[in-house]
Structure 1
Amino acid sequence: MTEDVAPPAERVDGQLLRIAFILVLGTFMATLDATIVSVGIDRLTEEFDASVADIQWVSTAYLLAVVAAVPASGWLADRFGGRRTWLAAVGVFLLGSVLCALAWSAPSLTVFRVVQGLGGGLLPATGQALLARIAGRHRTGRVISVVAVVPLLSPVFGPLVGGVVLGLASWPWLFLVNLPIGVIAVLLARRHVPDVPPSTRRTAFDLRGAALLSPGLAVLVYGLTEVAHGRTAPAAIGVTAGLAMLTGFTVHGLRTRSTPLVDPRLFARPPFGAAALALLVLGASVFGTTFLLPLYFQTGRGLTAWQAGLLLAPQGLGAAAGSVLVNRTIDRVAPRTLVVAGIVLILAGTVPFTQLGHAPPDEVIIAALVFRGVGMAMIGAPVMNIVYSRIEPEHLPRASGALNLLNTVGGSVGTAALAVVLQNRLSERGTDVPSAFGDTFWWVLGCCLLAAAGATRLPRGPAGADPPDPSPVGVRRGRPR
């Protein structure tokens, strides 16, 4: 054992794993719900006598609400405490789920999905920051490597779960399925998750930043979505307005003397900038591929939603295997080595999809998905460990919010951008649908190469080589007073 490895006293014990399991239930609900509804689009269209374009807003509204909520997660955790914010987010998410199940029309369902998305957007960021604070510097990498696999599994298994639910019950259960998970998570959290107090340094909420960042991101994603639908005027307005608002936020964040909602200077601090780029591209790769492949399987090969979900399952299995590998090596291997190796595996797993026009056999697709799954697991946890192990405990909520924002933006903007590319290639290719999808995957490959370039700037040494972590202070166990 080298001096860089966390000492036995810092091992991940059963109590910490129990806390991680409880907190990851919130992330599981939020990320699963982002995709579980996708297989119910046809059913909802019939139920509400609405067009596919109208029902598509059920998914888009949720995504936009998540993007809008993530930036505020750091301030809320600082102001009210990590556990209290997490519990409130679960409550909002469950309220939104019940309202969705009671929806009487497509517009009402869309509005209630916004409520659900606001809670869902807060859960991953606040849960990760709280877990990192409880674990301490030397245990963060190993525990994050376990929970970070959930966002990779949920988009893969969401369509499968949705298919099972619709096969056994009516459409409201797409949302009611969240209730038992959420109630159990709340009860367990109140009993077992330590009460981390709010930050002693109270800062005013950045109203101007919030008015620019969250709406700017939402408007940008909306504009890109409209581009994919071929609606030129709203697309141009959305993209232009979104970029202008994000530019305004950056200028505001650099000039303000108070604490900005997300500090743009963070991205100039090594290794945060390189880590941010890796997570941004990871989000685009994971959610972009999860968008493209089911669509290809159903439109290009005539499979059902259930069959398409089964073909995606190997990616989830690969991610689970990759998380085990990362858990055993994250404290001994340089983060850069793990991340670069993961990107190489994703590249190898993406190449076959650029050849969809030549109809690769199912065995090649399955092997490619396994490679991609293992590679994705080797990026997320090491990148988060780099940041969480090098930042002061009181700054964890805002750092976690920034990282989750980038992953969410990467997923939403990446998916919208790939939809635009796909629409263009379908127009060019005409009836050759598989080749159009193959052309689009070349863009996914390009994103991975960009991430590889950024990953070379990550630290060479293990995260455990950092100065010792001051013990997490101010953590009270048990029920809140």
Structure 2
Amino acid sequence: MTTSPDSAKAPDTKLDKRVLTVAGVVVLGSIMSILDITVVSVAQDTFQTELKTDQAGAAWSMTAYTLALATVIPLASWAATRFGTKKVYLTSIVLFLIGSVLCALAWNIGSLIAFRAVQGLGGGLLMPVGMMILTKAAGPARIGSVMAVLGIPMLLGPIFGPILGGWLIGFASWHWIFLINVPVGIIALVYAWLVLKDDATGEKPKIDFIGLLLLSPGLALFLYGVSSAGESQISHGTFLTTKVLAPALIGLAMMGAFVWHALHTDKPLLDLRLFRNRTLTVAVLTMVIFLIAFFGSALLYPQYFIGVRGESTLMAGLLLAPQGIGAILTMPVAGRLTDKMGPGKFVLTGLVLISLGVTAWTQFDHTTSYWIIGGALLIQGMGMGMTMMPIMSSALATLRNTEVPDGSTLMNVVQQSSTSIGTAIISVLLFTSLSKTTEGQLAIQFHRDQNTKNPDDRLFPLLVQKFGFPPGTQPDDSWFAAAANAFHTPYIVAAVLVVCTLIPAFFLPRKKIDSPLVEEDMDQAPHISLH
């Protein structure tokens, strides 16, 4: 059977109602999962006060979610093949909703940590399974356009999450940062139930227990280790502590063992033979370096606004809005044109814009105009809109439908790992840079000697803001000037990492990607019912 050229090109130019409908389902789920991470980050002090715990206990409300997320993500491919994407997606939403309600009812920090783990088990499957649903529904010819839709909550969540969290805590209570998920989750659940039809194929693949026992706990241990690096550097003056190295190295060894196992078994939990696909390999390498730089530098912006400029969490979120606006301006256009022209040109251009924006931050001090800072954030946002989702699109567009579950799961594992590594690197660099100042050394010594806490919004981020300001010492202009200068080193490293991303990005396709899908593959795409 032959297809006319016009009909073959039609899907490239427009997302039809069928695809937009399923995209709405996935975006709702993504909003819940992504916002929940950033919203909770602003409630740490509130948890300490309301639930009678310390900073370490409150931090576990975030760590438990991340570890549960990492544990369940490797199961996404097997679960989608075994039960179908609709059943897995609905189950994930229900589990996330149950976890949200339980978190709102938590009576102490221990119960909150346990219930956050329940939330993470549901949230961990929302993104990879949602990506499978979108990829199959749109087809490879429109994967760039549909990934641009999915990218909106991924890029805007870290910006608007703190705003929403600060508002809910200020005008209601901390319980509402979890209860807000309930109406959104119910809408998503009903929407998905009506729109998606069961796409289970009847296959009953056996689960790779060896792979599961290696990859899930290995990934969780690795992420726990690297995420502890910043705190260890603050508390002990080095990140080379048992708390960091032991879980990170054990987790790395387990993941290494999984790689060997996956390459020597017929039905691995995650098929790493996908790396034989050159485009996917280049896309993954590009994404690893990009995410380390992107999420690493993302840590710096609110810390600068809060610690150096004395802004509230809510105001810091508003000041980051230009970055979101920039992404909104370029993301839809870049996504649509990626389907026609390939991702290479847009990713390279986007990385140049991001490098310009991040480099500008290496020159900012404690008095730089917010108009100049907003301009730098706008440029960065425009670059992000042209970078992140086209990279993902270039990997997924080369996969057959039968490979999509493994491909989307792989991308999510890479995303979680790279994000944690980037955050750890920048946290350590920021602490080290701050600790070289006289003011930073004074704050650190006071913390280690007195082990007390006197919070102040206009104190050094990660140092004075966390540990307290030495009694009898009042912050003056020199403190904030020193803090602003201390930020330059991590900004320089972030900018260098962005420039390094240009190397693998240069090998991304700079013309329309030829999909390997054949017509019988397309017949297996999930059917969408528009009731």
Between the aligned partners of 2:346 and 2:81, the Cα distance in structure 1 is 32
Aligned pairs, how many? 476
- Residue 488 of structure 2 corresponds to 438
Seq. identity, %? 36
**Which residue type is aligned with residue 237 of structure 1?**
A
Q: Output the TM-score relative to the length of structure 1.
A: 0.93
Aligned to 1:262: 270
Unaligned segments of structure 1, at least 5 residues: none
- Aligned mates of 1:198, 1:37 — CA distance in 2: 38
- Alignment-derived partner of residue 354 in structure 2: 346
Is the contact made by 1:250 and 1:264 (CA closer than 8 Å) also made in structure 2?
A: yes
Supply the distance in 2 between the matched residues of 1:359 and 1:410 (Cα, whole angstroms).
Answer: 33
Per-residue deviation, 1:203: 2.7
Report the residue type matching 1:418 in the other structure.
Answer: I
Separation of aligned partners in 1, 2:122 and 2:144: 26
Q: Is the 8 A contact 2:226 2:420 kept in 1?
A: no
Does the Cα contact within 8 Å between 2:65 and 2:120 map onto a contact in 1?
yes
**Structure 1 residue 376 displacement after superposition:** 1.4
Deviation per residue, 1:13-64 (Å, 9 max, x gap): 1232121011110011101111011111111111011111210111122122
Match of 1:422 among 426, 430, 433: 430
CA drift of 1:339 comes to 1.0
Counterpart-to-counterpart distance in 2, 1:198 and 1:452: 41
> Following the alignment from structure 1 to structure 2, what is the Cα–Cα distance between the partners of residues 81 and 183?
21
Q: 1:420 to 1:136 in 2, by over 3 A?
A: same
**1: CA distance, partners of 2:30 / 2:8:** 27
Provide the rounded CA distance (Å) in 1 between the counterparts of 2:326 and 2:263. 41
Alignment partners' CA distance in 2, 1:430 and 1:224:
28
- 1:238 alignment partner in structure 2: 247
Superposed CA offset, 1:142-173 (max 9, x none): 22222222200111110011112112211110
For residue 443 of structure 2, what is the aligned residue in structure 1? Answer: none
Letter in 1 for 2:383: G
Task: Give the deviation of 1:224 after TM superposition.
Answer: 2.1
Counterpart position of 2:208: 206
Aligned to 2:391: 383
Determine which of 14, 19, 24 is the counterpart of 2:22: 19
Q: Secondary structure at the match of 1:229?
A: helix
Distance (whole Å) between structure 2 residues aligned to residue 72 and residue 31 of structure 1? 19
* Native 8 Å contact 1:346 1:375 kept in 2: yes
- Which is worse superposed, 179-188 or 105-114? 105-114
Contact 2:76 2:128 in 1 (8 A): yes
Secondary structure of the 2:363 match is helix
SS at match of 1:149: helix
Partner secondary structure for residue 289 of structure 2? helix
Q: What does residue 321 of structure 1 align with?
A: 329
Matches within 5 A, 1:12-161: 12-161=15-164
Which range is displaced more, 315-324 or 92-101?
Answer: 315-324
Any conservation in 1 of the 2:11–2:142 contact (CA below 8 Å)? no
Distance in structure 2 (CA, Å) of the matches to 1:447 and 1:383: 16
Determine whether 1:273 maps to 2:281: yes
Q: CA deviation at 1:195?
A: 2.8
- Alpha-carbon distance in 1 for matches of 2:281, 2:9: 29
CA deviation after TM superposition for structure 1 residue 282, in Å: 3.4
1:456 is matched with: 506
**1:357 Cα offset (Å):** 4.5
Deviation of residue 4 (structure 1)?
A: 10
What is the distance in 1 between the residues matched to 2:494 and 2:269? 30
Could you list the per-position Cα deviations for residues 107-144 of structure 1 after superposition, in whole angstroms to 9, with x for gaps in the alignment?
A: 21111111111111111110111111112222222222
- What is the CA distance between 1:286 and its match in structure 2? 3.6
Go from structure 1 to structure 2 and tell me whether the alpha carbon gap of 1:219 and 1:345 turns closer, same or farther (over 3 Å shift): same
Conserved? CA contact 2:306–2:313, under 8 Å: yes
What TM-score do you get using the length of structure 2 for normalisation? 0.85
Structure 1 contact 287–415 (Cα < 8 Å) conserved: yes
The 3 A distance-change label for structure 1 pair 331 and 5 is: farther
Question: Residue type of the partner of 2:120?
Answer: G
Q: Is the 8 A contact 2:342 2:394 kept in 1?
A: no
SS across alignment from 1:317: helix
Whichever of the two has the greater Rg, that structure is: 2
CA distance in 1, matches of 2:362, 2:11: 48
